């Protein structure tokens, strides 16, 4: 069918766009920091983040287009050079290796303002014969509201780095008896902080997201319209989301398909309930799989005018690609392939494509 070919072309274009991103580069300013190092200097910085593709995103233009952001010359070089230039290093003191477990910036927009955020987790290691021992870890964030927060990201990154260094400087790291191990990269990102007792997942500022979508379905046996609601809690660092879903459909069974059944008329009334699984591909694109259960009834009228009613239940999965804006409000769309299985006498199975357009709020 011609419309099926067009839908497949749209899916291919969306998949291609999801892999494309434009990066903005941030260069940390070398600003002197008034901290007297407590018997140590930073000898090296190790990037131990799970995702090293970028350090977050910014929003540009009137449509809040999302652009990935990274540090000039990479995180390790950028952070180390900033520290070396901004702090007074005495190489006769104890060398300390810093492991960057997490560093991310983000923006959130509302109708009247924006909020910019920088968050970080650092681990501090002593070194002995190429073996490492962790003596301290610290995590923090800073978030500020302004009419334009993009230009403040560089300052916020320096701020969270400095906060970690200050807390290490006044800690009791010297009195600890470390256990040296190799390699340094063994600890998981979600390990509890000795200072706060919280993991990053515990400290993340979550927000409730709602998606209201209108969909057009093109099935082999029926076509129609519907709308659905997705609701879930999210934050800027998680890659997996699990919205609950409620949806309602209105459709017309294909006449040629319906003729095989010995009924004059059919009326199906049901709603669908379930969950969806979203996997972040980029800041705006997600792969999603939805699993819903149709519940309702159908009324069938035979050629003698006699009505029969039946209980309906089924299973209706779908899989596709979704665009969801980073901003607090905005348009969202998706293209999905769906399957349909139900205890209906006249519409038991189907397969096709859904195109969904909606609003995030």
Residues 25-73 have pLDDT tens digits of 999 998 888 888 889 999 999 999 988 989 998 877 666 677 889 999 9
State the pLDDT at residue 38. 87
Give the pLDDT band (50/70/90) at residue 112: low
Q: What is the pLDDT of residue 199?
A: 39
pLDDT at 316: 93
Quote the pLDDT of residue 200: 39
* Range of weakest confidence among 44-58, 193-207, 272-286: 193-207
360 close to 324: Cβ distance less than 8 angstroms: yes
pLDDT at residue 196 greater than cutoff 90:
no
- At residue 142, the pLDDT reads 92
* Digit-coded pLDDT (tens) for 295-310: 999 998 988 889 899 9
pLDDT, position 191: 39
Would you say residue 16 has pLDDT above 50?
A: no
**pLDDT at residue 201 tops 50:** no
Q: Provide the pLDDT for residue 63.
A: 60
Contacts of 194 (CB under 8 A, 6+ apart): 136, 137
pLDDT band at 107 (very low <50, low <70, confident <90, very high): confident
pTM for this one? 0.49
**310 CB neighbour count, 10 Å cutoff:** 14
pLDDT value at position 327? 74
Q: 184 pLDDT band (50/70/90 cuts)?
A: very low
Closest CA to 284 of 212, 233, 223, 360: 360
Contact 291, 276 (CB under 8 A): yes
Exposure string (b/e) for 337-347, b if CB count within 10 Å is 16 or more?
A: ebebebebbbb
At 315, the pLDDT band (50, 70, 90 cuts) reads very high
Domains in the chain (CATH in brackets) are 21-202 (3.40.50), 207-360 (2.40.160.20)
Specify the range with the lowest mean pLDDT, choosing from 11-25, 96-110, 131-145, 334-348.
11-25
- Average pLDDT value over all residues in the chain: 83
> Which residue bears the tokens 């010297």?
174
Higher per-residue confidence, 131 vs 216: 216
pLDDT at residue 280 in the model: 85
Cα gap 205→89, rounded to integer Å:
35
């Amino acid at each position: 069918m011609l419309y099926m070919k067009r839908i497949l072309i749209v899916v291919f274009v969306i998949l291609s766009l999801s892999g494309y991103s434009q990066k903005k580069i941030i260069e940390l300013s070398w600003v002197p920091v008034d901290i007297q190092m407590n018997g140590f200097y930073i000898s090296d910085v190790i990037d131990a983040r799970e995702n090293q593709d970028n350090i977050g995103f910014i929003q540009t233009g009137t449509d809040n287009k999302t652009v990935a952001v990274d540090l000039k010359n990479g995180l390790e070089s950028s952070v180390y050079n900033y520290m070396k230039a901004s702090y007074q290093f005495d190489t006769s003191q104890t060398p300390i290796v810093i492991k960057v477990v997490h560093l991310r910036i983000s923006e959130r927009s509302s109708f009247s303002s924006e909020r910019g955020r920088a968050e970080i987790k650092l681990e501090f290691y002593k070194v002995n014969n190429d073996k490492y021992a962790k003596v301290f870890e610290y995590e923090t964030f800073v978030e500020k509201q302004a009419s334009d927060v993009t230009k403040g990201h560089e300052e916020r990154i320096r701020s969270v780095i400095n906060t970690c260094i200050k807390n290490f400087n006044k800690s009791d790291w010297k009195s600890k008896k470390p256990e040296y191990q190799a390699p340094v990269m063994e600890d998981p990102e979600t390990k509890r902080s000795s200072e706060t007792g919280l993991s990053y997942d515990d400290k993340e500022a979550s927000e409730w997201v709602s998606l209201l979508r209108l969909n057009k379905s093109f099935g082999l046996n029926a076509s129609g319209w519907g709308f659905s609601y997705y609701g879930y809690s999210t934050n800027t660092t998680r890659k997996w989301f699990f919205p609950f879903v409620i949806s309602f459909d209105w459709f017309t069974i294909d006449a040629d398909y319906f003729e095989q059944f010995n009924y004059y008329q059919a009326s199906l009334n049901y709603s669908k309930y379930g969950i969806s699984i979203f996997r972040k591909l980029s800041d705006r694109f997600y792969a999603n799989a939805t699993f819903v259960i149709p519940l309702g009834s159908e009324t069938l009228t035979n050629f003698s005018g006699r009505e029969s009613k039946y209980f309906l239940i089924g299973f209706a999965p779908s899989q596709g690609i979704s665009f969801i804006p980073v901003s607090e409000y905005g348009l969202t769309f998706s293209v999905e392939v769906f399957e349909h299985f139900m205890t209906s006498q006249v519409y038991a199975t189907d397969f096709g494509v859904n195109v969904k357009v909606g609003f995030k709020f």
